[in-house]
Structure 1
Amino acid sequence: MIRYCSSITLALVALQSPHAYAAMQDQGPPAPPAATPPAAATAQRWTQLQLPLVRNGQLSGDIIAEVTPDGQVRYERASLLERLTPYLSPSARETFGASFAQAAFLTSAELEAAGVFLRYNPALLEVAIERIDPNLAAVQTLGPVINESRVPVTRQPEDFSAYLNVVGDFRLEDFKTFEDPGVLVFGAARFRGVVVEFDGGYDRSITGGEGSGFYRRSARAVYDEVDKLRRWSAGDLQLSGIPVISGALLGGVAVEKGRRVFSGGGPVTQLGSQQILLDRDATVEVMVDGQQVQTLQLAAGPYDLSQLTSQYGGRNAQLFVTDVTGRRQLASFDPFFDPVDLGSGEDEYSAGIGFVARAFEASPKYGGLPAFSGFYRRGMTNRLLLGGALQLSEDVQVAGAEMVVSPNKIPGRIEFSGAISTGDDFGYSLRGAYSLQVGTGMQGRQFSISADYRNKGFQTLTDAIAGDRFETLNVTANYAQSIGEQTTLVAGANWFQRPGFNSSHSVYADVIHRTEKFRVTAGVEYGKGLNENNFGVRLGLTVPLGRRTRAEANYNSRREQARAFVTRSYEDRVGSFGYDVGIRKSKNDATVDAIANYVGNRFYARGSVTSGGPGFGDIDERQQARLQLGTSIAFAGGDVAIGRPINDSFVIAKPHESADPGQVVLGRSIQDKRFDALSGALGPALGGRLQSYTRQNVIYDLMNGPVGYDIGAGIDTVEPPYRSGYKITVGSDANVTAYGVLKIEGAPASLVAGSISSTDDEAFTSQPFFTNSVGRFAIMGLRPGKTYQVRLTEPAASYTIEVPAKSEPLYQLGEILITPPTAK
């Protein structure tokens, strides 16, 4: 039994796709054979179709054609020439078009005489280009050709949209004392091309118990020139730079260009040569060679990576960050890592002027005279990239340059950058790196080495926030070699030097073996520093317990650390649940902790419980519990919706009033009840995970609606601008589909064409009408209480359809008998 019908499904039998409709599978008994008509009469009974044109299996678009029941075919000149254009040389296009200037339709014989051979396939209802005369053909490219076939955008964002996320933060110390709850508030409003963003909230612990407790983390206005990859912004700014200098935090105005500007931001921002900035409170997992080795609960603010670099530098180390809103980001552990490669002639830059932030506090505080921060990078060739950066303020002046090159005669990639600064002291910073990858898969090998040095006098605009300056030297080397299909050897070394503080150096070697049932890591390590043993072994075991659940245990004897935990990842869909439960033991500390995440339809929840002490015997010495609840309210197209926190862009979807009591479902796995969002008693569905400047699909359906209700396409393709909002109304009052069997003089009307119009439905546009080979037809988009007239072209005849005012979505007409005027 049919319940819900999207226009994608009905298009197979509906009038909007006549070529597909004509291919509809016949239903019911076949009509009795008729006497063979004269050839002249058959040749004149043409049925117009819209057919796909293909070449070598690749679709070139649709053309208009006319066919007869006995298989004759002729092609409309205008649509055919448009689709043949890519396959004809420039001179051939003019000659070919001029040859048929007076013809509206072209036969196969006429086209073959001109040098174009087409074949009509009535079974597949398509036209294939079999051959084009070499004198007409365009030059073809040999070798692999990448053709970008993008689905066209079917829905545009609303001119005005806005959303506001609200996250409550509740903390319990020692399971006894409730701290004052905090509230994080952040959102954006967009009017056409201009976006205004705000991030702030209320939390007396952040403001130090001073003042009202309200704070502003950042506020800015943004305008994007997408075609030029350029963004203009004003307000609290986080500007990027080249790796050796990084960017700056300014209160002012800026312009930025580059792919990175439009790739979407995460919870982690590179702040300095050894620092990162967390925009909001987050859980940070340190991942080494794919295994979790450390978990940190961190408050928003800047953090120095030097000590982590000394422990894990030179290895495949990453930071997996989950903030209080559910945003997740897997960031490179190397603060110098820059994945952007610019092609020849491609450039990117940033330039901003404003006041320098003096400290990372609840609300930014700016001071001094205006400062400037900017950089420029350009791909000189496909093998050479050059860049430079400049920072100027009353206290410090910084200049730097970088080069990335892949020489013709030297395999691999070489990077070098350097910078100098003047201010309290003269300072300089140097960075060099070399990387090489040979082969892939079982025979793949990778080698990399990098070194960076920063003297104590070097400073940038971010140093007022990032903390004290130190002389640092960090050298890392890494080698990876595949041994067979499932085993990898990894070896490396790290030298980290900070005079008088936290210096270390080590060498290591690991063997990693993977199977479908487990992953095991075994290795040795030798080094000095950080109050650790000189020699130790490393062991790790990972066992998958399902598609999203795994158990891990690892041990490092040099650092006297052991960890064991079970993790279940969660998905961004309604009802998804994830957790991380584990025990951790180090030389002077032991902890037991649990983190749980739940994704609801209207909210996101994250809870954590930690208990620790100097040993398992005193595991309850310090305890903490925390619960974070986040929701959002959004506005677009005159409708308001409530849902989970929104990261970038969003869509509001609601059922049409005629779809009552239906509920709109957003999601990619509707049949499996894996929803992204669901409408209900609290209003429309709110999907808040659209990524700006990325073409993607919004899939929707109707649940518990009227039988046979037409919801439309069921899918929209969008390419959201930054912080934009969409509105979708699922269904309409034009939801009736009339179907039946047309008979002429008592016999099924086989492959009859015509048109449909209405005298009292002003919104209804004239449509073509077709029957299949046994006379069946379906007409979509009719409104209850309206009248529609069907006019046939051959034989000339007409009939009227009156849709009842209280019609069901599927309106059965039964058999319609007509007699052409000439037959009376």
Structure 2
Amino acid sequence: MKKTRYRHFYAIILLSLFLSELAFAEQKINPTGRDITLTSLLRISDSVIGETDITITAEDDILLPKQATLDVLETLVDEDVLNALSSNVVGDNLSQVDFDRVGLGLTFEFSTLECVISIPNDKMLTQQLSMGRGSPYTDYLPPSVLSGFLNVTLSNSLNQSVDENTDQQHNQNHRFESALNYKRLSLEYESTYDDIDGLGANYLREGTRLNLDFPDAGSRLVLGDMFNSGTLFQSSADIAGIGLTRDFSLIATKNVRPTAAQSFTLTRTSSVDVVIDGSVVQRFTLNAGTYNLNDIPIAQGLNNISLVITDASGQTEEISFSVATGSELLNTGEFEYAFMLGAPRTFEGDRLRYDTDKRLIMGNVEFGAAPWLTIGVNGQQLYDVYQYGGNVLFATSLGVTELHASQSEHPVFGAGNAFRFAFDADIPESNTWLNQFSVLYDQLTPNFAGTDDVDTVQDTTTNQEPLNSVQHFLSVFAAFQLSSDYRSSFSANLSKGHRESDNYWSASPSFSGPVFDSDATWSTRVDYQRFDNGDDELSGTFTLSWPLGSKTRVVSRFQSENRFSGLDVNYQDAVGNTGGISAFASVENQESSDANLNASVDYTGNRYQASVNHATRYSDINEDVRTHNTRVNVSSAIAFSGTEVAIGRKIGEAFAVVSKHPTLGENRIAVDPSEDEQYARVFFEGSSNVLVSDLAAYSDQIISYHVENLPPGYDLGDGGFALYPGYRQGYALKIGSDAVITAMGTLINKRTSSPIGLVAGMAHYLDGEGIAPLEFFTNRQGRFAISGLRPGNYELVLNTTAKQTLTLSIDSVDDTFVRLGELYVD
């Protein structure tokens, strides 16, 4: 981030006022008696988005330029609030009173010299997908041209079986992930090493690929091993070949953002609470990156699901997946696509096998034809199996409707087709009882085929079984807000298939609410299934979720199916920070086993992550028949960026190697500290570089830092780094510099022997090129201070009618605070 144009200018005002003997110096921001205009950083909540001109009036009111501020807020604030702020203000400036009137906040942070606009959640504008490369209001630091890393995860497990005899087996499973990045080009390599008692050791290469990113177009070209999950009716594909994708999930717009109905992006390591039917039933930790709902370990068949995600700074967001449609509307003229061509690959035992005799081709394109209409086409081909189709997503005043249709051609089974209709109602916020309503209908003919069915082409046996057992499936879901505290939902499914056993209908009502006036919640769910053959199944689930403070939660579950009962205890503290701990313990009992005991502890160190997991299964406590499984994992990484090297925690999408200037060699530094400064992303002890390993690709981030026992007068500049990393890119960041000297003095007019008061000036460095001049300002007594000086010679140029200059020399001294005394100017 570039230094703000007038940041030192404003700092001089504050510093000189502090030293002034005037009584009002500690009370007034602007002592000049006239309006002054300067430039300051502008921050929205916790994100610095750029610079802004501010006017400090003689009465100490702070004004922002109206039009420029409205342009910034246009993508952040609800349209009604923006219109009110625009129409109710007369003149060219916005004041704190204007912001208060529309429910926004405007303050000035003296500790960071930033203007801060606060926007309540209910007045925020829902972020739209964008092709823009980060915020246009921020100057980002460039990544290193060449960088790379190696992740190493060492695992060792012990499996024991105790009955009449005791058997045990050791299993070492080590994983290696590496990447080398040059500008927008990255080379990735993954492998594993297994050593199991009695089976010997085995090293397996799992994947190698070359990625070339075009971030301004949201596109990625891949050559090598890759995976594509396909569209709705397409088969997923694991191939070695070439692929080109344009995917908005590569470009996140905020910390937690649904990129479709089934995916979301995190910019920080975060803790995740899985909420089903209104109660938290599971907690776990996710690193920075983009995730799909399929990546979350939750039970299938439940559709009233939401995730409460809390990042390391304590910010919380909730996203819901209780929707039928699987996509979001694209903006007009925007499109997404994915194309792949290559040979299918499979894992066979201890090696990869590439079926080079076959060629798989697959692709899909979606286009935003209008703000309310998105259309798409897709297709894939392998051997003599073809599949192609299209989809339409459109919005009306009633809600969003999605239509999918697909056709297949199979040389043995012939033609087949598939169809989906999905509808999500647009429930107005004024509706106090119905929160959600969704309908989904799937229809598949028995012989609808995908590329997964290619092996049946060469099957010479007569197979009378259909490829798809379920041919019609209908699902309806509704969620109700019974009161401010109590909620309910209802889902019903109807399935028709080739066999009678495939035909059934089901109904599942659920209810949830608080336990008295506490933060605890309860939920109950009843599932009834009726089969055409006359059988029926009735089961019920009761969940009690009780938080014990902000770090610990107890969850108890009871299910009539399999006579299951369980008690879970979760503890999380400082997730994503050095010293963070996540612990879990549970005890379960069910029909098939007397007791299941589970426990795990994860610890985040400054340069590593470690975890211990243990599970004990008692199939028969009376007979003392049990199994034990204990697993220990330790992971770390070594990375380089430019000429800087560091060891730290396992790297995700992008990283930064952080060093510090020798002038701060003995100072302890907290990189990205928490608000109470008790924790930090990493701590800088000693002189060895540290690694920030969990940067999210294609998402703007501010990496702040706090230096303990900072020498008086030491200027840290902006106090943070503004980053917009590409995939697998690394940064080389340095905290501190030799421009750390603050000089103070008093300017005296040589002819009149009077102070030169209330004059601005520039300090030009004479001993080198490319050094930006520093601004300063004198108070009424002619006193001034200049921060950010380095040893050498400077020319001071005063902004007076008759140009006045002065040359001074700053010696290389250990003290970062220099008193110049009285300086006489011609």
Q: TM-score, normalised to structure 1's length?
A: 0.74
Does residue 662 of structure 2 align to residue 662 of structure 1?
A: no
Counterpart mapping for 1:53-452 below 5 A: 150-174=136-160, 177-204=168-195, 209=199, 213-262=202-251, 288-289=276-277, 291=279, 313=301, 315-317=303-305, 338-359=326-347, 363-367=351-355, 368-407=357-396, 411-426=399-414, 427-440=416-429, 442-452=432-442
Which residue of the partner structure matches residue 806 of structure 1? Answer: 813
* CA displacement, residues 577-602 of structure 1 (integer Å, 9 cap, x when unaligned): 01111112222123110122111111
**What amino acid maps onto 2:336 in structure 1?**
E
The structure-2 alpha-carbon separation of the partners of 1:671 and 1:517, relative to structure 1 and needing over 3 Å to count, comes to closer
* CA displacement, residues 285-314 of structure 1 (integer Å, 9 cap, x when unaligned): 9863355668999xxxxx999xx99x8525
Indicate if the aligned counterparts of 1:549 and 1:569 stay in contact, CA closer than 8 A: yes
Indicate if the aligned counterparts of 2:4 and 2:40 stay in contact, CA closer than 8 A: no
Counterpart mapping for 1:487-566 below 5 A: 487-495=486-494, 499=499, 505-514=505-514, 516-527=518-529, 534-566=537-569
**What amino acid maps onto 1:694 in structure 2?**
S
- Which ranges in structure 2 are unaligned for 5 or more consecutive residues? 25-33, 43-48, 73-89, 96-122, 128-133, 162-166, 256-261, 263-270, 286-291, 310-316, 457-465
The structure-2 alpha-carbon separation of the partners of 1:227 and 1:7, relative to structure 1 and needing over 3 Å to count, comes to closer
**What amino acid maps onto 2:148 in structure 1?**
A
Indicate if the aligned counterparts of 1:313 and 1:494 stay in contact, CA closer than 8 A: no
Does residue 449 of structure 2 align to residue 459 of structure 1?
A: yes
Q: Say which SS state the counterpart of residue 709 (structure 1) adopts.
A: coil
**What amino acid maps onto 2:580 in structure 1?**
S
RMSD over aligned CA atoms reads: 4.9
Structure 1 position 752, deviation (Å)? 2.7
Counterpart mapping for 1:644-655 below 5 A: 644-655=649-660
- What is the rounded CA distance, in whole Å, between the counterparts of 2:621 and 2:779 in structure 1? 78
- What is the rounded CA distance, in whole Å, between the counterparts of 1:532 and 1:407 in structure 2? 42
- What is the rounded CA distance, in whole Å, between the counterparts of 2:326 and 2:604 in structure 1? 33
Indicate if the aligned counterparts of 1:736 and 1:807 stay in contact, CA closer than 8 A: no
- What is the rounded CA distance, in whole Å, between the counterparts of 2:307 and 2:401 in structure 1? 24
- What is the rounded CA distance, in whole Å, between the counterparts of 1:119 and 1:285 in structure 2? 44
The structure-2 alpha-carbon separation of the partners of 1:150 and 1:7, relative to structure 1 and needing over 3 Å to count, comes to closer
Which residue of the partner structure matches residue 113 of structure 2? Answer: none
Structure 1 position 730, deviation (Å)? 0.9
- What is the rounded CA distance, in whole Å, between the counterparts of 1:144 and 1:639 in structure 2? 40
- Which ranges in structure 1 are unaligned for 5 or more consecutive residues? 1-5, 33-45, 72-79, 88-115, 122-142, 267-273, 275-282, 298-302, 322-328
Structure 1 position 471, deviation (Å)? 1.8
* CA displacement, residues 53-95 of structure 1 (integer Å, 9 cap, x when unaligned): 99xxxx997679999x999xxxxxxxx9x989999xxxxxxxx
Which residue, out of 462, 471, 474, partners 2:469?
471
Q: Say which SS state the counterpart of residue 21 (structure 1) adopts.
A: helix
- What is the rounded CA distance, in whole Å, between the counterparts of 2:70 and 2:377 in structure 1? 45
Q: Which sits farther off after the overlay, 677-686 or 757-766?
A: 757-766
Indicate if the aligned counterparts of 2:577 and 2:681 stay in contact, CA closer than 8 A: yes
Structure 1 position 610, deviation (Å)? 0.4
- What is the rounded CA distance, in whole Å, between the counterparts of 1:615 and 1:495 in structure 2? 39
The structure-2 alpha-carbon separation of the partners of 1:419 and 1:390, relative to structure 1 and needing over 3 Å to count, comes to same
- What is the rounded CA distance, in whole Å, between the counterparts of 1:312 and 1:145 in structure 2? 32
The structure-2 alpha-carbon separation of the partners of 1:769 and 1:168, relative to structure 1 and needing over 3 Å to count, comes to same
- What is the rounded CA distance, in whole Å, between the counterparts of 1:293 and 1:146 in structure 2? 28
Which residue, out of 729, 735, 755, partners 2:762?
755
**What amino acid maps onto 2:782 in structure 1?**
G
**What amino acid maps onto 1:375 in structure 2?**
N
Indicate if the aligned counterparts of 1:244 and 1:336 stay in contact, CA closer than 8 A: no
Structure 1 position 511, deviation (Å)? 1.1
The structure-2 alpha-carbon separation of the partners of 1:652 and 1:354, relative to structure 1 and needing over 3 Å to count, comes to same
* CA displacement, residues 164-197 of structure 1 (integer Å, 9 cap, x when unaligned): 1111111011287352312101121110111111
Which residue of the partner structure matches residue 575 of structure 1? Answer: 579
**What amino acid maps onto 1:167 in structure 2?**
T
**What amino acid maps onto 2:171 in structure 1?**
D
Structure 1 position 732, deviation (Å)? 1.1
Indicate if the aligned counterparts of 2:744 and 2:786 stay in contact, CA closer than 8 A: yes
The structure-2 alpha-carbon separation of the partners of 1:333 and 1:251, relative to structure 1 and needing over 3 Å to count, comes to farther
Q: Say which SS state the counterpart of residue 219 (structure 1) adopts.
A: strand
Counterpart mapping for 1:770-809 below 5 A: 770-784=777-791, 786-792=792-798, 794=800, 799-809=806-816
- What is the rounded CA distance, in whole Å, between the counterparts of 1:797 and 1:166 in structure 2? 62
Which residue of the partner structure matches residue 3 of structure 1? Answer: none
- What is the rounded CA distance, in whole Å, between the counterparts of 1:638 and 1:164 in structure 2? 16
Indicate if the aligned counterparts of 1:646 and 1:689 stay in contact, CA closer than 8 A: yes
Q: Which sits farther off after the overlay, 742-751 or 378-387?
A: 742-751
Q: Say which SS state the counterpart of residue 711 (structure 1) adopts.
A: coil
Which residue of the partner structure matches residue 693 of structure 2? Answer: 688
* CA displacement, residues 108-164 of structure 1 (integer Å, 9 cap, x when unaligned): xxxxxxxx987999xxxxxxxxxxxxxxxxxxxxx9999997541331111111111
Indicate if the aligned counterparts of 1:633 and 1:642 stay in contact, CA closer than 8 A: yes
* CA displacement, residues 439-466 of structure 1 (integer Å, 9 cap, x when unaligned): 3374343122223344554432345799
The structure-2 alpha-carbon separation of the partners of 1:541 and 1:655, relative to structure 1 and needing over 3 Å to count, comes to same
Structure 1 position 416, deviation (Å)? 3.3
* CA displacement, residues 761-805 of structure 1 (integer Å, 9 cap, x when unaligned): 566554444212232211122234x33343445476555544343
Which residue of the partner structure matches residue 20 of structure 2? Answer: 28
Of structures 1 and 2, the larger Rg is shown by 1
Indicate if the aligned counterparts of 1:164 and 1:632 stay in contact, CA closer than 8 A: yes
- What is the rounded CA distance, in whole Å, between the counterparts of 1:594 and 1:120 in structure 2? 56
Percent identity (aligned) = 22
Indicate if the aligned counterparts of 1:632 and 1:642 stay in contact, CA closer than 8 A: yes
Q: Say which SS state the counterpart of residue 602 (structure 1) adopts.
A: coil
- What is the rounded CA distance, in whole Å, between the counterparts of 1:649 and 1:537 in structure 2? 45
**What amino acid maps onto 1:539 in structure 2?**
F
Which residue of the partner structure matches residue 84 of structure 2? Answer: none
- What is the rounded CA distance, in whole Å, between the counterparts of 1:446 and 1:774 in structure 2? 67
The structure-2 alpha-carbon separation of the partners of 1:728 and 1:261, relative to structure 1 and needing over 3 Å to count, comes to closer
Q: Say which SS state the counterpart of residue 156 (structure 1) adopts.
A: coil
**What amino acid maps onto 1:493 in structure 2?**
A
Indicate if the aligned counterparts of 1:664 and 1:730 stay in contact, CA closer than 8 A: no
Count of residue pairs the alignment pairs up: 701
Q: Which sits farther off after the overlay, 791-800 or 212-221?
A: 791-800
Does residue 628 of structure 2 align to residue 623 of structure 1?
A: yes
Which residue of the partner structure matches residue 37 of structure 1? Answer: none
Indicate if the aligned counterparts of 1:532 and 1:559 stay in contact, CA closer than 8 A: no
Indicate if the aligned counterparts of 2:151 and 2:635 stay in contact, CA closer than 8 A: yes
Structure 1 position 721, deviation (Å)? 1.1
Structure 1 position 638, deviation (Å)? 0.5
The structure-2 alpha-carbon separation of the partners of 1:295 and 1:465, relative to structure 1 and needing over 3 Å to count, comes to farther
- What is the rounded CA distance, in whole Å, between the counterparts of 2:243 and 2:387 in structure 1? 18
- What is the rounded CA distance, in whole Å, between the counterparts of 1:349 and 1:366 in structure 2? 25
Indicate if the aligned counterparts of 2:220 and 2:245 stay in contact, CA closer than 8 A: yes
Q: TM-score, normalised to structure 2's length?
A: 0.73
